Amino acid sequence: MKKTICKYNKVLGVVKGILPFYLFTLLPLSVMAQTSAGDSVLNHLGGSRLSVGGYGEVTYSRNYYSDHVSRYSQPEEHKNDPSHGKFDLPHAVVYLGYDFGKGWTFGTEIEFEHGGNGLAYEKEDEEGGEWEQEVEKGGEVELEQFWIQKSFGRAANLRFGHIVVPVGLNNAHHEPTNFFTVYRPEGENTIMPSTWHQTGVSFFGRYKDFRYEAQLLAGLNADGFTNTNWIKNGSKSPLEYDVANKYGVALRLDNYSVRGLRIGISGYYGHSIGNSYPRNAAGVDDTYKGQVAVGAVDFTYRGHNWIVRGQADYGYLGDAEQLKYLYNRVNKKSPYHHSAFVSKNAYAWGLEAGYDVLSLFTPFTLHPSWTSQAAKPSAPFTKLYVFGRYEQYDPYASATKGISYNYTAVKRMAVGVNYFPLPEVVIKAEFSKRFLKSAYNDEPAVNISVAYEGFFL
């Protein structure tokens, strides 16, 4: 018996040495509770040189509150406004991956948002309801990832190109099967880019129970910061390229020591004022730095038929009181024109939990890992999670020069179900409600979606 085990270990060691490293990062979720979205193009590769996959969502919402531009400035006048509904295609994504051999791989993620073509317009609440063409190239088509990678082993990998910035829970795990709500968790999606993707260089790897990543990136652009979304639009560019006058650094560390649990910390630091085109050589743009610092902690637990996720994010913006006077923001012909102040601080935290009620009616206990369940042909995968979520966030958490926008402080709850007929397909339904400060009207809604995520080749 000992000889057999010894021989098996030797064979396993040889196999690990010759197969691509990423085949051995796909451990059961009992060991690796959740993979990183930064690896999403490679997470599900089956050994073929070419891989094709993706994810997508179709949604319907009925919002039982006013959509009038003055609903916050004149809330009493819009308290009894009629409801409004919408169908949407928030994301339709195609993954392409290719293994060149000798540790060299290529990956790309092509994303179609909200239909993905033409230009989009929006009513700008902060500008009195003016119709404006969106800075973000319309209902866009984007390359969310586009990189070449050299792998030296499981512990050391270099990635060059357009990459996901894994700060917070939502950016690191943004596929629709990785959250219960119909739309991406609202707090992080409000205060930070989502999905946050920029051009740069990444070093990452896995060692024992840890996954680590460090990135050097093009900086954010303070011209895009707003009072209602903080730094969210700072990674977007209306130009044919991303300006890189300033730079930023992102770090992430995940631990998987506890069975079924992944816990991570992440952060970002960089300068944002002056990272724009044209770069003003004088005045506010040249004098101030606009330091952006974000810290986040998040976790995911899968086990005993439960999935529980949580995150907390806090951000600081230096020289916030100066942003209103930046050259591109005061110029009404600029795509960055914005007259509101931006907050020095922003925060978001949230917690969601779901229980698979179908497990109460099955004669066996399903393993918390998708992988191990698939290995049991006699065990149906079907799951029905009943979930609840609560979160709080505020992109304008500190008044700048005494100016307040109290409607930005939000408490939100959601309850609903996620039905998984297959591991790759989910049908979601929820009732949600935003609780605003007493001067404003609360915002209830019903949301429904069908989504998928997987590889086809």
Report the predicted TM-score, pTM, of the whole model to 2 decimal places.
Answer: 0.85
Mean of pLDDT values over 69-74:
93
Total structural domains in the chain?
1
437 Cβ contact list (under 8 Å, min separation 6): 406, 407, 409
Does residue 326 lie within any of the structural domains?
yes
* Tokens representing residue 192 in the block: 């930070």
Burial class (CB within 10 angstroms; exposed 0-12, middle 13-18, buried 19+) of 28: middle
Does residue 401 lie within any of the structural domains?
no
Residue 8 above 90 pLDDT? no
End-to-end CA distance of the chain: 39
Q: Contact 40/90 with Cβ under 8 angstroms?
A: no
Strands (E), 171-246: 197-207, 210-218
Distances (CA, A) of 275 to 36, 241, 391: 29, 12, 32
Burial class (CB within 10 angstroms; exposed 0-12, middle 13-18, buried 19+) of 366: buried
The pair phi, psi for residue 361, each rounded to 5°, is -115, 10
Q: Which residue has the tokens 């049991």?
A: 376
* Tokens representing residue 304 in the block: 């005993």
The residue range of the domain holding 344 is: 2-53+93-370
Does residue 318 lie within any of the structural domains?
yes
Does residue 70 lie within any of the structural domains?
no
Does residue 394 lie within any of the structural domains?
no
Does residue 413 lie within any of the structural domains?
no
Task: Tell me the per-residue pLDDT of 121-180, one tens digit each, with 9 for 90 and over.
Answer: 555 555 555 555 554 444 578 889 999 999 999 999 999 999 999 999 999 999 999 999
Does residue 406 lie within any of the structural domains?
no
Task: Work out whether strand 443-455 and strand 50-63 pair parallel, antiparallel, or are unpaired.
Answer: antiparallel
Does residue 402 lie within any of the structural domains?
no
Note the pLDDT of residue 18.
34
Strands (E), 64-140: 84-88, 92-101, 104-112, 121-124, 130-133
Average confidence score pLDDT of the chain? 85
* Tokens representing residue 316 in the block: 């600081």
Residue 186 above 90 pLDDT? yes
Residue 195's CATH number: 2.40.160
Evaluated on CA atoms 384, 390, 396, 398, the torsion sign reads negative
